Chains A and B, each alone.
Chain A
Amino acid sequence: MTDRAARAPTAPGPGPGAAIGAGTAIRTADLRKTYQTSRGDVPAVRGIDLNVPSGELFGLLGPNGAGKSTTIGMLTTLVLPTGGRAWVAGLDVVADPVGVKRRIGVVTQNNTLDMQLTVAENLEFRSRFFGLGSGEASRRAGQLIDAFGLGDRRNAMATDLSGGQARRLLIARALVHRPEVLFLDEPTAGLDPQTRVNLWDILRVLHDQGQSILLTTHYMEEAEALCDRIAVVDHGEVLARGTVDELKEGTGADTVITVRYEGAVPDGLVAETGLAARPGVEKVETGHDRIRVFASDPDGVLGELVAAGARAGLTVRDAAQLKPSLETVFLNLTGREYRE
């Protein structure tokens, strides 16, 4: 991480009133957002603390509705926090939203391209919004179009782009003014696998150039493939954070074995197996019709669960043994299946 920070772009440092050092891209302290609706207060983000050094590719991983987009909304000044504070590129997002907007690039989850404009015009006008003259804006647009492989779509209307092309243009547009921090909200949601891999390549190149990036994703493999560090988020809270390896080690249980039966699990079935006391088993959870075991040594566990069910007259409906992954991390943290 330190070598990356050292190579961080020499973009203008935080302006007057900076609350944090220049080496920090994003910091939040107990950041909260509660929406007031007709059905009462709905907390979307319930006290999130983040610290992302410059040059890092940081991921917010969580299921839909976890509060990721709301968090990005607050960091990019379009959602007003109801509690806590946040700084981006050294500036307070509430006190200096214009300063923050000058220093960030945002790839929204929705297709927010200007549908009245062509591909080239989308880039030109965005450049001009950020103060480039029209000649310079046009050069910058050409450079971005070539780099993002949109050359043959230069004069196409934004409405006529495929999903992958639109997403590439959204990323290109977020880069026109060389942002200090790039935000991507679910950048590959809804894209085909080939396009997704292409976008990953783009993000890796940006990251290798020292670009600070925060992305949200609900794809575990995306977080695993791209991110230096991850915060696992659910119900508006950070459940765990660290590198992928740290997260896997941190759970203490490498493998998750789940067996679901055709009927309800009778009381005492788990105790009868003696699994909870067995060396290498960290935790045993019983649901209505299923038993889940978190184990560092999974040998024989699955067999024992099937056998115990048979003794109680239960047929196994399905069984799964998950190798250590972010999915097992999530299961271990929440006790729930990952809702994609």
Chain B
Amino acid sequence: MTSTTSTAAPPDGAGRGGPDGTGAGADIAALIAEAPVPQPTLAKTFGAMMAREFRVLRRNSISTFMRAVMQPLLFVFVFTYVMPKIGGGFMFGGTAGAAAASGSGAAGAVNFATILVPGLMASMLLMQGIMAVTFPLVMEFSWQRTIEDRALAPVPIQVLGVQKISAGAVQSFLGALIVFPIVLLVHAAGQAPHVHVTNWALLVLILVTASLLTSALGLLLGTVMDPRKMQMVFAAILLPATMLGCVYYPWSAMHQIRWLQLLILINPMVYMSEGLRAVLTPGVGHMPMWAILTVLVGGTAVFGYLGTRTFTRRVLN
């Protein structure tokens, strides 16, 4: 075992091989001698980690696509095709439109599809952000702790947390974009949404910050939640955030129920829905842009800070 020279000769037994086939002592020796000298930098490692995410996304493209498409497709189908057909568009289009009109002061019929476009996009942002970050994280922290694979990459652990937020934000962003073609194509006659982008830069800014916000929230949830209580995420977070997140109604219309209108201000979803409403469907009343941007940017910073902190603590025990 110790009688060696520095040549690549396989020692006793190395050429033996087995059913698993490791008869490659010389090859293994060459691995050391002929190894490239790596020069990792933060940017290269970060880029490689992102490339890994896209490879996995591409491999799972069908399931990822299904996950991203089915929810908005069914929502839009039921609310802008089925409901208007069976109810004559009365129930939803009527009341929401009236409320929107009273909120914004703009007259004219705002149909439900128009209310739903920004709301559905916000809902997708949240759903995709959590699905893309929280659930994989729970797996990575489970008994095999596969998180250690990337934790050993030559970057600080915080960078790994930021990378997870970035990768989740990309999925969240794409998930929101998928809503566009669906709402434009699927609706009953005369029920097309009135979408009019007033400011493209602002739209991109809101989509990007909202994507980062949801995926930072996803990181925080994935690191603080007990894996055995993951169903709680749906019941206690996703469901109330969506139902009370101005997805199906504009915030201004809530003035009828003042206490609720104030209570839901703690819900980040409200600002995502309203922000998108402001830039996509200006015909519908929305809350002031300064409030929207303050919460989206501030919320991203707060959740990002808390998420990477709890993440680092979980990785380094």
Residues of A with Cβ closer than 8 Å to B? 7, 9, 12, 35, 73, 76-80, 97-98, 101-102, 104, 106, 108, 110-117, 121, 125-132, 134, 136, 140, 143-144, 146-149, 162, 164-165, 168, 175-178, 194-195, 197-198, 200-202, 204-211, 225-226, 228
Among candidates B27, B38, B56, residue contacting A132 with C-beta atoms closer than 8 Å: B38
A208 near B4 (CB under 8 angstroms)? Answer: yes
Q: Which residues of B contact A97 (CB under 8 A)?
A: 156
Chain B residues with CB under 8 Å of A205's CB are 10-11, 14, 25, 28-29
Contacts of B59 in A (CB 8 A): 116
Chain B contacts for A164, CB-based, 8 A = 20
Please list 20 pairs of residues, one from A and one from B, whose beta carbons are closer than 8 Å in the complex, sorted by A's number: A101-B155, A102-B40, A111-B144, A112-B145, A116-B60, A117-B55, A117-B56, A121-B52, A130-B38, A143-B27, A143-B31, A148-B28, A149-B20, A177-B35, A201-B13, A202-B22, A205-B10, A206-B28, A209-B6, A226-B1
Contact of A108 among B18, B24, B148, B156 (CB under 8 A): B148
Contacting residues, chain A, for B315 (C-beta < 8 A) = 78
Q: Measured between C-beta atoms, what is the minimum distance from B45 to chain A in Å?
A: 5
Contact residues of B between 133 and 160, Cβ < 8 Å to A:
143-156
B38 touches A127 (CB 8 A): yes
A198–B22 CB distance below 8 A: yes
Looking at B14, B31, B56, B151, the one whose CB has the most chain A CB atoms below 10 A away is: B31
Candidates A35, A114, A204; contact of B11 at CB < 8 Å: A204
Across the interface, which residues of B come within 8 angstroms of A98, CB to CB? 154-156
B6 near A210 (CB under 8 angstroms)?
A: yes
A80 and B316 form a contact (CB under 8 A): yes
Sort A-B residue pairs by CB-CB distance and give the 10 closest, nearest first: A131-B40, A147-B27, A128-B48, A178-B35, A149-B21, A129-B153, A208-B4, A130-B38, A102-B154, A209-B32
CB distance from A99 to the nearest CB of B (A): 8
List of B residues within 8 angstroms of A127 by Cβ: 38
Knowing A9-B32, A125-B48, A209-B33, the reply to whether A168 touches B154 (Cβ < 8 A) is no
Contact with A along B280-317 (1 / 0, CB 8 A): 00000000000000000000000000000000000111
Please tell me if B44 contacts chain A, counting CB pairs below 8 Å: yes
**A165 contact set on B, CB distance < 8 A:** 20
Q: Would you call B18 and A194 a contact (CB within 8 A)?
A: yes
> Is there contact, CB below 8 Å, between A110 and B28?
no
Q: Say yes or no for B37: interface residue by CB 8 A criterion.
A: yes
- Closest Cβ of chain B to A212, distance in Å, is 11
Q: How many B residues are at the interface, by size bracket?
A: 35 or more
Q: Does B131 contact A (CB under 8 A)?
A: no
Q: Which B residues lie within 8 Å of A131 (CB)?
A: 38-41, 44-45, 154
Interface string of B174-201 (1 = CB under 8 A from A): 0000000000000000000000000000
Find B49's partner among A9, A73, A129, A207 (CB 8 Å cutoff). Answer: A129
CB distance from B46 to the nearest CB of A (A): 9
| B239 within 8 Å of A (CB atoms) | no
Chain B nearest CB, measured from A86 CB (Å): 14
Q: State whether B45 touches A129 (Cβ < 8 A).
A: yes
Q: Which residues of A contact B22 (CB under 8 A)?
A: 148-149, 168, 198, 201-202
Residue of A nearest to B149 (CB): A112
Q: Given known contacts A110-B143, A117-B56, what 9 new A-B pairs fall within 8 Å (CB)? A: A7-B6, A35-B317, A76-B152, A116-B60, A129-B153, A131-B41, A146-B24, A149-B22, A206-B32
Judge if B105 is at the interface, Cβ distance under 8 Å. no
Query: Nearest Cβ distance between residue B155 and chain A, in whole angstroms?
Result: 6
Chain A residues lying within 8 Å of B265, measured Cβ to Cβ, are none
Q: B7-21 interface mask toward A, CB cutoff 8 Å, 1 = contact, 0 = none? A: 000110110111111
Contact: A128 with B1, CB < 8 Å? no
Asked if B36 lies at the interface with its beta carbon under 8 angstroms from chain A, I say yes
B146 & A113 in contact (Cβ 8 Å cutoff) = yes
Q: How many Å lie between the Cα of A213 and that of B17 in the bound state?
A: 22
| Contact, CB under 8 Å: A128 / B11 | no
* Complex alpha-carbon distance, A202 and B150, angstroms: 24
Interchain CB contact (< 8 A) of A128 among B32, B44, B317: B44
The answer, yes or no, to whether B51 is at the interface (CB within 8 Å) is: yes
- Across the two chains, which residue of chain A brings its CB closest to B37? A178
CB distance from A52 to the nearest CB of B (A): 16
B226 within 8 Å of A by Cβ? no
Chain A residues, CB < 8 A from B55: 117, 121, 125
Q: Give Cα A113 to B156, complex, Å.
A: 20
B30 within 8 A of A: yes
Q: List the A side residues contacting B34 at CB < 8 Å.
A: 143
Name the residue of chain B whose CB is nearest to the CB of A175. B31
Q: B23 within 8 Å of A by Cβ?
A: yes
Q: B4, B29, B146, B150: which contacts A129 (Cβ < 8 A)?
A: B150
Determine the distance from Cα of A101 to Cα of B148 in the docked complex, in whole angstroms.
Answer: 12
A73, A198, A228: residue with the most chain B Cβ atoms closer than 10 Å: A198
The answer to whether A114 touches B146, judged by C-beta atoms less than 8 angstroms apart, is yes
Residue contact A112 to B18, C-beta cutoff 8 Å:
no
Contact A112 to B153, CB < 8 A, known contacts A131-B44, A140-B36, A206-B28: no
In the complex, which residue of chain B has the Cβ closest to the Cβ of A167? B20
Chain B residues, CB < 8 A from A209: 6, 29, 32-33
Q: In the assembled complex, which residues on chain A have CB atoms less than 8 Å from the CB atom of B47?
A: 128
CB distance from A166 to the nearest CB of B (A): 11
Considering residues B21, B29, B51, B152, which has the most beta carbons from chain A within 10 angstroms of its beta carbon?
A: B152
The closest CB in chain A to the CB of B53 belongs to: A116
Q: How far is the CB of B131 from chain A (nearest CB, A)?
A: 15
What residue in chain B is nearest A9 (Cβ atoms)? B32
- On whether the beta carbons of B20 and A112 are closer than 8 Å, the reply is no
Query: Nearest CB to that of A97 among chain B residues?
Result: B156
Q: Hey, which chain B residues are within 8 Å of A73, CB to CB? A: 317
B52 and A177: CB pair below 8 A? Answer: no
